[in-house]
Amino acid sequence: MLSTEDMIRLIETEGEINQMDKVFEQLAGHGHASGDFIKLDNVYDVIQHNAHPAYSGSEEADQKFIEILYDRKRTPDERAEILLSGRA
């Protein structure tokens, strides 16, 4: 299991990847997932794999995971705590 500090770092990194993807789409017409940088998705996968089991196993749980991960109203620290604890 990841430490809270490591989860925070991964959430921050995922946020930057998401921003970078928007730039890729503007410049190239497609995001990183359709090019040579597909492995950047590994960051998302590691976050999801280490999140509390409440955020996997069903479409509803996956949707909640995404909502929390990309909730810019919360700090990375808050999102990490929620994703690790299972308490939204």
For residue 26, how far is the Cα from the chain centroid? 21
Contacts of 86 (CB under 8 A, 6+ apart): 52, 53, 54, 55
pLDDT tens-place string over residues 30-51: 766 666 677 888 999 999 999 9
C-alpha to C-alpha distance for 65 and 40, rounded to whole angstroms: 18
Q: What's the pLDDT at 53?
A: 96
Q: What's the pLDDT at 11?
A: 97
88, amino acid identity: A
- pTM (2 decimals)? 0.85
- Which residue is associated with the tokens 């808050």? 78
Q: What's the pLDDT at 3?
A: 95
pLDDT tens-place string over residues 51-80: 999 999 999 999 999 999 999 999 999 999
Q: What's the pLDDT at 58?
A: 94
Q: What's the pLDDT at 22?
A: 84
9, burial (CB in 10 Å: exposed 0-12, middle 13-18, buried 19+): middle
Contacts of 43 (CB under 8 A, 6+ apart): 10, 13, 14, 17
Q: What's the pLDDT at 16?
A: 92
